[in-house]
Amino acid sequence: MASTRDFRALWDFGNPQATESVFRERIADTDVLVEKLLLETQVARTYGLRDRFAEAHALLDAIEANQHTLRDTAAASDLTELHVRCLLERGRVFRSSKCPAEAQPLFVTAANEAQAAGMDELAIDAMHMVALVVPPTEAIQWTTRGFELAQQSIDPNARNWDAPLANNLGWTYHDMGDFVKALAYFEQALAARVRIGKPEPIRIGKYMVARAYRSLQKYDDALQLLLSLDPMDSHGYVHEEIGENYTALGRPSDAKPHFLKAHAVLQHDKSVDAKRLARMLFLTQ
């Protein structure tokens, strides 16, 4: 296994502008060119997340133009990491700018080169990105490849990818109507999140298992799991799910207060469509 920079620890994905400042401070603090260029790949990523696509591509072009100057001074592993990160971040920019066909070969090359170099975390990240730009059957293959690498890795950062990848596989199988496989992966994701030990992902993991239970018509099992969550920590999605299970059991009076709470929160969530909100409101009557 080859070690790579732990840039993820410096990220606040909810605030890419603040994250840019963090990386620019690190850039200013080092005189080592390869370190500066590696950090700049993350600045490019912050641009992509803010739809500043031309700036992201220009910065990545500049980084790549500087790579040849490092051949006699930087370690081979650093050069490989820099090359992989450039591929990965340019691919992300293409995907964010609705150009998945341009992103796919970059992600594939990044995944293969990182895995060949023993850079497990970068390889898994790239495999996960390939899965986002290919058809569902191919997505399963790439996500499974990343999941298996995560399970085998001795790199803790790579190992912890098993949680989101198992979750992604669960959703993919759920969308395909294979609820048994979906439940199996959601349970693996929950176990991984318990191992990692962060409360919010554990709550989400329990929600996902309960969602699969409902699809399998195991409504009582779903409710037992959902109601075990701290009521003060139950987000709109949890209340919606509790309401749906009570509705399936023919208990509308028990469902109503949960749909009320869900609607109050989720009406402000842009990812929740109008039809879904209308259903919640209707079931509060």
Give the range with max mean pLDDT: 3-7, 36-40, 266-270.
Answer: 36-40
Confidence bin at 20 (pLDDT 50/70/90): very high
Query: How many domains does one find in the chain?
Result: 1
Q: What's the average model confidence in pLDDT over 185-189?
A: 98
CATH of the domain at 88: 1.25.40.10
Tell me whether residue 66 is in a domain.
yes
Task: Confirm if 153 and 127 have CB atoms less than 8 A apart.
Answer: no
What average pLDDT does range 28-40 have in this prediction? 96
∠ CA(59), CA(62), CA(68), 5° rounding? Answer: 145
| 5 occurs within a structural domain | yes
Amino acid 234: pLDDT: 66
* pLDDT at 1 (0 to 100): 64
Condensed to tens digits (0 to 9), the pLDDT of residues 107-125 reads: 999 999 999 999 999 999 9
Would the CA dihedral through 235, 240, 246, 252 be positive or negative?
positive
At 45-83, the pLDDT tens digits run: 999 999 999 999 999 999 999 988 887 788 989 999 999
Query: Which of these, 25, 30, 51, 27, lies nearest to 41 by C-alpha position?
Result: 27
Residue 254: pLDDT over 70: yes
Residue 182: pLDDT above 80? yes
Separation between Cα atoms, residue 211 and residue 195, nearest integer Å: 21
Q: In this structure, is residue 186 part of a structural domain? A: no
For 12, how many CA atoms within 13 A lie in the half-sphere containing its CB?
A: 10
39 falls within a domain: yes
**Structural domain boundaries enclosing 92:** 1-134
In a domain, 107, yes or no: yes
State which H helix or E strand residue 100 sits in: helix 100-116
Residue 285 belongs to some domain of the structure: no
pLDDT > 90: what percent of the chain? 91
Residue 94 covered by a domain: yes
* Mean pLDDT taken over the chain: 95
Residue 95: inside a domain: yes
Q: Which residues contact 222 (CB under 8 A, 6 or more apart)?
A: 210, 211, 213, 214, 241, 245
**Banded model confidence at residue 264, pLDDT cuts 50, 70, 90:** very high
pLDDT tens track for 188-246: 999 999 999 999 999 999 999 999 999 999 999 999 999 999 776 668 999 999 999 99
Q: How confident is the model at residue 270 (pLDDT cuts 50, 70, 90)?
A: confident
Q: Cβ neighbours of residue 55 under 8 Å, at least 6 residues apart?
A: 47
